[in-house]
């Protein structure tokens, strides 16, 4: 292994700083009082509190699932603080009023919070610990009738929309972590794109966990009305801490007839150090419901988190709907990832396409777990799945668990998977053309992931490529 | 059924050596602890053993009479010169058997082996098949109850000139009963043998066959194992084959399944020496409301081994096929080359397939692929055949046969391959001379 690579491998997590600001934090522990306190702090209407309480009661009866291929010590749900907000968080008249310290944080992260600095033309909703601290480009979006605001604001301002769609894709009783999220979610983003509107810019949320010993439970709800189009990006970081922090988010996408929703994630939560100490447990439920002729596309680049456990899924309910899943998941050191997708074909002539690229290095373990289910009525359903794994070193693992369940004989389902390593002959060829070993590896890896990166919006694709480089560099010699 | 089995065990007369009695007790205790699996057990996710667990099976009654030679010959034509052991309703039928101790291969019933080969049994019997895993309680039950079965030992360097045929039959008296056949195959170093294990029915309904086969494939030896599951259409069949492979050995398995209402076939091979090869192929042809579940597991524990797997299914009516193929590659198993394919043809709109090809890889210098496809008959091929004047129904049948024939062709025993091809052809086209 070259010294240059070694240097790069040992490169610190560059987003590992923490911001010293006063926070309004609930003491650790979870009971009905905490759920009520969170709801009260957010001035929520009665129906919202009822929904949370229903979820909480359901959660109490549920047990933590352990079927995934990841190992972690038992989580003490009573040791987590379920609400942490920057002290100064109160409704802001304009972004200029934002706490300078928070703004500094986002500047360090490279989030263009200030509109004037915004060349990228991306509207950003930034979530700091549990609350949303500001949404840019709100006015511009309003002109097109697009609603893009924090979840708390949506509950206050657009209750009829929230009530109609909240839980319609991921019910509060869906699974253990979704129920927990439904009970204690503090904020998140809400998007509504009206009929026939093509959202004029990429929407984006940046999540950051700052306070120690807190969990982040955000909830995102995106509704694209008939014929609408929206592309949404999500990024995540957290400071370095030696304890594990829980992140249990829920994302619901609704694509009504002929609508398109594109959801891209670059997940770079703190992954823990090289000995596997600390890091984020990323236990997320993401699901979309596609109505007739609509399209839902998930793209994810997972480089962070000590443990990633998520399956962005699409319920292809309407006829002629399409679901897509493009994923790159990288694990290094002691990271573990169990990720994949579910495509549930219910409507006729539904299509789904899955491309998953897993890269394992160090002592990381990467699992692809995917389900393609064709229901008896899904005539003419079509699925193509490709999942490739690359192993770097012999202390890591790559696993594939595809479930193919077909109940209609007009369906065509194909699944292909391969596992390989970077060939010495490939490296030799590149070197012989004048590239260094590192350049060769980075070129081969980015070629391996190309099909997924090309689905990402431009600025994210660049970030993703860099992240991949940082996560992997030095693991190949 | 769980309590019935536990009760049956207390009434069981201990058979075999003392060391086996202790293992039997451990096995029944394990079953008592874990009980039957449910669909919550990942390995039983798509197959509910409830129809077996909720029914009560008495120990299988003795046959009413023994079949004649022509009946036997019809089950597998052209095998008159094969070494053969016949079991009816779980009991060894010496008069129908042609064991052969000459020519370097010992073929005997389990009861005879207790007397004649105690050290061979102590070394191998119950050593290959897992009784601890809650998903494998049927193996534990077999271990507790095993009464009769076959033992085959191929001497070092010997190639058996003819295949060894192990035939497990049921007759009318089998109805409502359960048998636990146990087979032990030992291929000593440098040997080469073909074993055909056939489960067929001459009568009887709603019985359960709970079979376990253990095999040890020594250094540089080759074992062909062909398994035919042709039980009565309303019977239950659970069969496990557990194989241990030594250096440079080859294990080639073929599982052919057309019978039983509910069947579950496990084929597990552990590659414990360098340079081993494992080839697991299979074909399941189902109709009515049949349910057939194949679970295969190949464990690559040493470097430089390869594995090949091709399973095909033809599902008609409201039948339900399940395939779960696991390939494990241990960290030390570098240069592993693994390939796994599962193709299923759905002939009816009510047929259902659940397939789960699974890879778990811990070594980096490996080449592993798997693929699965599900679909119906290729419209383009059908159109081509119709354009050449072949009627629609006939074309469909021929294409179905061709789909199945690809995997049948891998069977190394000519007579058997031709027999099964003829059978498939008859089933799909209604004639044997297409």
Q: CA B403 to CA B381: how far, in whole Å?
A: 12
B175–chain A nearest CA distance, Å: 32
Asked if the structure places residue A461 within a domain, the reply is yes
Q: Which region among A155-169, A275-289, B269-283 has the lowest average model confidence (pLDDT)?
A: A275-289
Residue pair B213/B241 in contact by the 8 Å Cβ criterion: yes
Among chain B residues, the shortest Cα distance to A397 is held by B362
Q: What tokens does B123 get?
A: 């070394």
A292–chain B nearest CA distance, Å: 23
Interface of A with B in 60-89 (CB under 8 A): 67
Taking residues B374-399, report their average pLDDT: 92
Q: Across the interface, do A415 and B352 touch by the CB < 8 Å criterion? A: no
Instruction: Using a CB–CB cutoff of 8 Å, tell me whether A406 touches chain B.
Output: yes
Q: CA A107 to CA A109: how far, in whole Å?
A: 5
The pLDDT tens digits of the residues spanning A404-421 come to: 999 998 999 999 888 888
pLDDT surpasses 80 at A9: no
Q: Which element (helix H / strand E) includes B426?
A: helix B414-429
Asked if the structure places residue A477 within a domain, the reply is no
In a mutagenesis test of the A interface, which of B291, B346, B362, B379 is the best target, namely the one with the most A β-carbons within 10 Å? B362
β pairing state of B208-217 and B236-245? parallel
Q: Across the interface, do B352 and A406 touch by the CB < 8 Å criterion? A: yes
Instruction: Using a CB–CB cutoff of 8 Å, tell me whether A2 touches chain B.
Output: no
A369–chain B nearest CA distance, Å: 9
> ipTM for the complex?
0.78
Range of the domain at A178: 3-472
β pairing state of B149-154 and B105-109? antiparallel
Strands (E), A392-461: 397-406, 412-420
Q: Across the interface, do A418 and B355 touch by the CB < 8 Å criterion? A: no
**In a 10 Å sphere around its CB, with 0-12 CB exposed, 13-18 middle and 19+ buried, how is residue A43 labelled?**
exposed
Q: CA B126 to CA B49: how far, in whole Å?
A: 23
Residues 6 or more apart in contact with residue A432 via CB below 8 angstroms: none
Query: Taking the CB of residue A190, how many other CB atoms lie within 10 A of it?
Result: 28
pLDDT surpasses 80 at A140: no
Q: Across the interface, do B347 and A409 touch by the CB < 8 Å criterion? A: yes
Summary mean pLDDT of chain A = 81
**In a 10 Å sphere around its CB, with 0-12 CB exposed, 13-18 middle and 19+ buried, how is residue B433 labelled?**
exposed
| A373 confidence band (pLDDT: 50, 70, 90) | very high
Taking residues B153-182, report their average pLDDT: 94
Name the nearest CA neighbour of A394 among B307, B332, B338.
Answer: B332
Instruction: Using a CB–CB cutoff of 8 Å, tell me whether A417 touches chain B.
Output: yes
Taking residues A215-231, report their average pLDDT: 90
Given B349, B351, B356, which is nearest A401 (Cβ)? B356
Q: Which region among A67-76, A233-242, B87-96, B388-397 has the lowest average model confidence (pLDDT)?
A: A233-242
In a mutagenesis test of the A interface, which of B39, B345, B364, B371 is the best target, namely the one with the most A β-carbons within 10 Å? B364
Q: Across the interface, do A392 and B360 touch by the CB < 8 Å criterion? A: no
Q: How much is the pLDDT for B180?
A: 95
Q: How much is the pLDDT for A117?
A: 42
Q: CA A423 to CA A446: how far, in whole Å?
A: 15
Q: CA A457 to CA A463: how far, in whole Å?
A: 10
pLDDT surpasses 80 at A239: no
% of chain A residues with pLDDT over 90:
32
DSSP state of A216: B
Among chain B residues, the shortest Cα distance to A390 is held by B364
Q: CA B67 to CA B304: how far, in whole Å?
A: 48
pLDDT surpasses 90 at B320: yes
Q: Across the interface, do B357 and A400 touch by the CB < 8 Å criterion? A: yes
Q: Where are the alpha helices (DSSP H) in A62-212?
A: 100-109, 138-143, 151-157, 159-165, 176-184
Asked if the structure places residue A125 within a domain, the reply is yes
Instruction: Using a CB–CB cutoff of 8 Å, tell me whether A224 touches chain B.
Output: no
| A114 confidence band (pLDDT: 50, 70, 90) | very low
| A133 confidence band (pLDDT: 50, 70, 90) | low
Residue pair B423/B411 in contact by the 8 Å Cβ criterion: no
Q: How much is the pLDDT for A437?
A: 81
Asked if the structure places residue A116 within a domain, the reply is yes
Virtual CA dihedral for A44, A46, A48, A54, nearest 10 degrees? 140
| B223 confidence band (pLDDT: 50, 70, 90) | very high
| A94 confidence band (pLDDT: 50, 70, 90) | low
Q: Across the interface, do B371 and A391 touch by the CB < 8 Å criterion? A: no
Residues in A touching B374 (Cβ below 8 Å): 404, 406, 411-413
Counting the structural domains of chain A, the total is 1
């Amino acid at each position: 292994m070259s010294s240059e690579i070694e240097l790069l491998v040992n490169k610190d997590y560059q987003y590992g700083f923490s911001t010293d600001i006063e926070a309004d934090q609930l003491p650790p522990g979870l009971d009905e009082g905490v759920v009520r306190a969170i709801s009260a702090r957010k001035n929520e209407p009665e129906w919202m509190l009822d929904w949370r309480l229903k979820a909480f009661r359901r959660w109490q009866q549920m047990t933590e699932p352990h079927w995934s291929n990841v190992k972690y010590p038992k989580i003490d749900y009573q040791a987590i603080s379920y609400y942490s907000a920057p002290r100064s968080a109160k409704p802001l008249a304009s972004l200029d009023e934002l706490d300078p310290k928070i703004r500094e944080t986002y500047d360090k992260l490279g989030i263009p919070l200030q509109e004037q600095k915004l060349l990228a033309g991306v509207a950003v909703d930034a979530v700091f610990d549990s609350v949303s601290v500001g949404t840019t480009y709100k006015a511009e979006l309003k002109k097109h009738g697009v609603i893009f605001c924090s979840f708390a604001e949506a509950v206050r301002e657009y209750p009829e929309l929230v009530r109609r769609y909240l839980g319609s894709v991921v019910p509060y009783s869906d699974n253990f972590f979704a129920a927990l999220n439904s009970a204690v979610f503090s904020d998140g983003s809400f998007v509504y794109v009206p009929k026939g509107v093509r959202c004029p810019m990429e929407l984006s949320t940046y999540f950051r966990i700052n306070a120690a010993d807190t969990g982040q439970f955000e909830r995102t709800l995106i509704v694209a009305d008939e014929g609408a189009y929206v592309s949404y990006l999500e990024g995540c970081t957290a400071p370095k801490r030696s304890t594990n922090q829980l992140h249990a988010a829920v994302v619901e996408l609704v694509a009504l007839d002929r609508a398109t929703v594109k959801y891209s994630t670059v997940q770079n939560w703190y992954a823990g150090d090289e000995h596997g100490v600390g890091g984020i447990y990323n236990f997320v439920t993401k699901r979309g419901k596609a109505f007739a002729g609509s399209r839902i596309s998930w793209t994810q680049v997972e480089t962070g988190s000590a443990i990633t456990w998520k399956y962005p899924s699409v319920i292809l309910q309407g006829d002629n709907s399409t679901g897509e899943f493009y994923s790159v998941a990288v694990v290094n050191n002691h990271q573990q990832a169990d990720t994949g997708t579910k495509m549930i074909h219910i409507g006729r002539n539904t299509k789904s396409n899955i491309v998953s690229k897993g890269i394992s290095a160090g002592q990381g373990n990467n699992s692809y777990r995917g389900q393609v289910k064709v229901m008896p009525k899904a005539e003419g359903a079509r699925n193509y799945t490709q999942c490739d794994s690359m192993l770097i070193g012999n202390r890591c693992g790559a696993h594939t668990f595809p479930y193919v369940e077909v109940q209609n004989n007009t369906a065509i389902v194909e699944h292909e998977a391969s596992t390989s390593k970077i060939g010495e002959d490939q490296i030799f060829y590149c070197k012989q053309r004048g590239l260094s070993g590192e350049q060769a590896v980075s070129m081969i890896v980015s070629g391996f992931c190309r099909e997924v990166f090309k689905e990402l919006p431009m600025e994210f694709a660049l970030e993703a490529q860099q992240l991949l480089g940082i996560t992997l560099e030095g693991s190949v010699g | 059924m769980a309590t019935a089995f536990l009760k049956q065990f207390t009434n069981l007369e201990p058979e075999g050596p003392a060391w086996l009695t202790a293992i039997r007790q451990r096995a029944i205790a394990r079953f008592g602890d874990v009980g039957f699996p449910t669909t919550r057990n990942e390995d039983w996710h798509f197959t509910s053993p409830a129809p077996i667990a909720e029914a009560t099976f008495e120990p299988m009654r003795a046959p009413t009479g023994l079949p004649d030679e022509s009946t036997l010959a019809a089950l597998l034509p052209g095998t008159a010169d094969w070494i053969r052991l016949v079991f009816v309703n779980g009991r060894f039928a010496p008069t129908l058997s042609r064991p052969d101790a000459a020519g370097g291969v010992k073929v005997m019933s389990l009861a005879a082996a207790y007397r004649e080969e105690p050290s061979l049994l102590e070394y191998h019997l119950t050593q290959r098949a897992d009784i601890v895993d809650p998903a494998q309680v049927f193996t534990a039950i077999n271990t507790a109850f095993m009464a009769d079965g076959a033992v085959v030992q191929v001497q070092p360097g010997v190639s058996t000139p003819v295949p060894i045929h192990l035939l497990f039959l049921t007759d009318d008296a089998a109805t409502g009963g359960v048998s636990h056949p146990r087979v032990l195959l030992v291929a000593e170093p440098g040997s080469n043998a073909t074993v055909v294990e056939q489960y067929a029915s001459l009568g009887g309904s709603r019985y359960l066959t709970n079979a376990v086969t253990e095999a040890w494939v020594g250094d540089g030896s080759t074992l062909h194992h062909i398994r035919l599951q042709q039980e009565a259409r309303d019977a239950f069949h659970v069969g496990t084959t557990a194989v241990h492979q030594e250096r440079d050995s080859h294990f080639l398995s073929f599982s052919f399944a057309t019978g039983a209402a509910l069947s579950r076939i496990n084929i597990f091979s552990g590659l414990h020496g360098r340079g081993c090869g494992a080839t697991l192929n299979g074909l399941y042809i189902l109709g009515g409301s049949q349910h057939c579940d194949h679970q295969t597991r190949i464990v690559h524990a040493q470097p430089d081994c390869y594995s090949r797997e091709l399973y095909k299914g033809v599902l008609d009516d409201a039948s339900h096929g399940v395939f779960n193929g696991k390939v494990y590659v241990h960290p030390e198993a570098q240069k592993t080359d693994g390939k796994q394919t599962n193709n299923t043809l759905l002939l009816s709109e009510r047929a259902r397939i659940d397939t789960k090809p699974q890879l778990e890889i811990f070594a980096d210098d490996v080449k592993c692929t798997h693929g699965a496809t599900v679909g119906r008959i290729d419209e383009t091929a059908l159109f081509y055949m119709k354009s050449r004047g072949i009627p629609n129904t006939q074309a469909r049948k021929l294409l179905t046969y061709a789909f199945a024939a690809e995997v049948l062709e891998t069977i190394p025993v000519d007579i058997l391959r031709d027999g099964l091809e003829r059978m498939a052809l008859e089933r799909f086209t209604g004639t044997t001379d297409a």
